[in-house]
Structure 1
């Protein structure tokens, strides 16, 4: 069954023109793999080079544009995008697998990013005068062509949090969306691009490796922003080193949640923990992927979380009763199922629960019931890897020192959470935990989208920001009398 997404299906955008290619890849609905939602064009190296050239030409004038004009254009684009949110939600669900609630929230946050970045721009761009005997200003300027490669799991917000500040800072961008979930991004960016000069926003699609290699090797690309796996991030860093490109990367995570003996794990807290684990079927870099519970509370937390998981309704996200949709693609589905099988063979206790909304159509999509795993240790594969699925290991610990040691025993260091009634202890532990951000009695995202704290170790390459990411896409320089 084919249900073609209007206009952007099978096309790419370069220099203001949408061009259709004969060579395409189907984008399937993970809830019903027989449904083709639309198609994505397979762009060649020549097309990518043309996109870089268009961005380079547009940069010459856009980088010198008035700051107020940039903000006004973005605010106008945000108003136009807000008018088409509802009509894009269902297709986003169909190509991604999120629930209706999750999908709409992501789209609304894209508009919020646009308005928030535009509001931050004017004050952020003003020269900063440093104290001292000599008058020295810190001034900012756009860097140049910016390549943005985004993933399939949370494509909307992760794309907009890079494209929007890059453009507002005065850069021209080449965007490469994930092949598994490109259509809603392209449709929404079409709305945005229409409010900017041709070439400021360009979109190419197809093979991640082929396009990524081209973007990394081209000296005209001055910034490369990537969201995805740590392995791919390392490969990109190696290939971009020849041109000393600025890299901004959000990579993998294996987030620990640490539950202390005094934690108030009431119904509301268990629900917050469940949401931190199962949001988007666990396919979130900053989702909880390991739970450590002080021994005296271990059995209680396992029991309560199992009961909470049992309430989850799994099915096609387009159905309003569904609280967790399918995994996005076959590769991830196979990986997570293989991980469960290997864990069971090695002695792990798999507690699978939840409600199948439509058992008769279960095998038509990449559906999985959520699972809690006990009986594993710190060296288990399930504990070491980024599962990226609706499965969670729960491990006991004796004291705070052991909990911190176990939590830090990972190459990843994206987010962490501490669950305790003692805020002083939570702060003390946060100072010792290796993570870009630590939450207290929750494991979520920052409600203020101007905040973005990067991961440490192999979870990211960047620095913290309070300005919607604007500084990631600009150079600072000194001006002295």
Structure 2
């Protein structure tokens, strides 16, 4: 059990101001995993006050860049040392397969701190420009106190995407993890303290939506970086606007995998399987949940995808052989099952899955599910299901494929598969999405990540992600 009775506020473990708690249970079998205090608005006030003091008069923003980056890199190194512990904790907390937790939840998350430090070393924090009346010094300074609100699906990774650049920039941070997945954030707090973060620079406040809204609307917060649903993102934007707080929103997705006429299915099908059903049990905003296939190859694609989904190993996420584990909660399982029903009512053909696998009824499971004969106007093709459910959509011509791919409120990720990679790149250029891969599936930590349309505002990762925590200031040298 990972039980905590104190909150990490301003770099110290202190008694919470309330007596509420959050219990975390294993979605595989419902057994208890841990418990943390439920932060209150009073705890938010204390955390913001500590962050404001640390930013206004503490050492952190005034350290040299190299001094800050040494701490950022130390956080990554300590997370790497504790990666097996972190991966196991997230698997028990979230239901992510242990292989995924080891590689992506723990491994990649730890690496983000080193990547961010490398980017910061070459970032132009100050530069001179020739102006119309003389030279100008353009500085980029830390935005201030940051509220970092992260989701439950990839909590350590989402925290790294916000915390690493915010710290490198010289900001102070209040990290607000989801009540479904708060335990790894406390492990991160332990690591940050050991790495040498000064007092006040980081607080961790597990809490529900009401307390989160209070944090986002707090007048002491300069910047809100949020990852979550579109509905919640709209509310964050509305509340933060009251203080003109800067915002970054990384929201949902309904990403398309476009198979061109000459696509290599030996490459495309396993890639799609790994980037949809087997990508954190389908609980990933970047998942390829719409597959667009030319009618000339539709039957072949349907057969291959059906076989791939049916062959995936579903079960205990602690088993290294497992490829698809449980959904994070019973509520999430019920949501997915509702969409399975909706898809059938809309007239889509259930090719495989759609129910709870035999022997796994005690957990929050859904078998990898594939719908065929999907029209892009159907709810299952337009709405983010956030689970192991994929829609197969036929198209007639290449322009039709691009139109369907773009016919979405979202624009976060995607892929194009074709034998001619240059032609596939041309198609990728026409699809309005923040990240798209040609003949594969990837995100690149050194490149900007974020969405078009309802998938968000702003970018994370790369130099763009660092810029999100900086304000530009012009110093005109008049004489």
Give me the TM-score of the superposition, normalised by structure 1: 0.93
Q: Is the 8 A contact 1:343 1:382 kept in 2?
A: yes
Does residue 43 (structure 1) correspond to residue 43 (structure 2)? The answer is no
* Equivalent residue for 2:51, pick from 34, 52, 55: 55
What does residue 320 of structure 1 align with? 320
C-alpha deviation, 1:465, in angstroms: 5.8
The separation in 2 between residues aligned to 1:292 and 1:12, in whole angstroms, is 47
What does residue 427 of structure 2 align with? 429
* Deviation sequence 1:79-99 (CA, Å, 0-9, x none): 222222122221211001111
C-alpha deviation, 1:129, in angstroms: 2.6
Does residue 280 (structure 1) correspond to residue 280 (structure 2)? The answer is yes
**Aligned residue runs from structure 1 range 41-190, under 5 A:** 41-60=37-56, 61=58, 62-105=60-103, 106-131=105-130, 134-190=134-190
The separation in 2 between residues aligned to 1:270 and 1:82, in whole angstroms, is 32
C-alpha deviation, 1:182, in angstroms: 1.1
**Aligned residue runs from structure 1 range 221-370, under 5 A:** 221-266=221-266, 268-278=267-277, 279-353=279-353, 359-360=358-359, 362-370=360-368
The separation in 2 between residues aligned to 1:78 and 1:424, in whole angstroms, is 37
What does residue 25 of structure 1 align with? 22
* Deviation sequence 1:219-241 (CA, Å, 0-9, x none): 21010000000110001111111
C-alpha deviation, 1:355, in angstroms: 12
Gaps of at least 5 residues in structure 1 are none
C-alpha deviation, 1:424, in angstroms: 3.1
Does residue 458 (structure 1) correspond to residue 459 (structure 2)? The answer is no
SS in 2 for 1:458: helix
C-alpha deviation, 1:150, in angstroms: 0.2
Q: Is the 8 A contact 2:129 2:136 kept in 1?
A: yes
Does residue 213 (structure 1) correspond to residue 213 (structure 2)? The answer is yes
Q: Is the 8 A contact 1:465 1:471 kept in 2?
A: no
C-alpha deviation, 1:143, in angstroms: 1.2
Does residue 13 (structure 1) correspond to residue 35 (structure 2)? The answer is no
C-alpha deviation, 1:132, in angstroms: 5.5
C-alpha deviation, 1:137, in angstroms: 2.6
SS in 2 for 1:270: helix
* Deviation sequence 1:300-328 (CA, Å, 0-9, x none): 11111111112211111101211111111
Number of equivalent positions: 469
Q: Is the 8 A contact 1:313 1:355 kept in 2?
A: no
The separation in 1 between residues aligned to 2:430 and 2:76, in whole angstroms, is 41
* Deviation sequence 1:153-175 (CA, Å, 0-9, x none): 11111111101110121111001
C-alpha deviation, 1:145, in angstroms: 0.6
* Deviation sequence 1:342-393 (CA, Å, 0-9, x none): 2223322112259999x43x11110111011013212211011011111111
C-alpha deviation, 1:15, in angstroms: 1.8
Greater Cα offset, 121-130 or 281-290: 121-130
Residues 255 and 10 of structure 1: CA distance in aligned 2, closer, same or farther (over 3 Å):
farther
* Equivalent residue for 2:438, pick from 440, 444, 449: 440
Gaps of at least 5 residues in structure 2 are none
SS in 2 for 1:175: strand
Q: Is the 8 A contact 2:125 2:141 kept in 1?
A: no
* Deviation sequence 1:105-150 (CA, Å, 0-9, x none): 1211122111122222232154223355632232111111100000
Give me the TM-score of the superposition, normalised by structure 2: 0.94
C-alpha deviation, 1:463, in angstroms: 4.1
Q: Is the 8 A contact 2:337 2:354 kept in 1?
A: no
Greater Cα offset, 418-427 or 180-189: 418-427
* Equivalent residue for 1:380, pick from 378, 381, 397: 378
The separation in 1 between residues aligned to 2:346 and 2:69, in whole angstroms, is 56
Residues 131 and 311 of structure 1: CA distance in aligned 2, closer, same or farther (over 3 Å):
farther
Q: Is the 8 A contact 1:310 1:355 kept in 2?
A: no
The separation in 1 between residues aligned to 2:330 and 2:5, in whole angstroms, is 21
What does residue 196 of structure 1 align with? 197
Q: Is the 8 A contact 1:256 1:292 kept in 2?
A: yes
C-alpha deviation, 1:188, in angstroms: 2.2
Greater Cα offset, 382-391 or 113-122: 113-122
Residues 422 and 131 of structure 1: CA distance in aligned 2, closer, same or farther (over 3 Å):
farther
Greater Cα offset, 430-439 or 403-412: 430-439
SS in 2 for 1:476: strand
The separation in 2 between residues aligned to 1:77 and 1:346, in whole angstroms, is 49
The separation in 1 between residues aligned to 2:92 and 2:179, in whole angstroms, is 14
Residues 453 and 90 of structure 1: CA distance in aligned 2, closer, same or farther (over 3 Å):
closer
What does residue 387 of structure 2 align with? 389
Residues 125 and 196 of structure 1: CA distance in aligned 2, closer, same or farther (over 3 Å):
farther
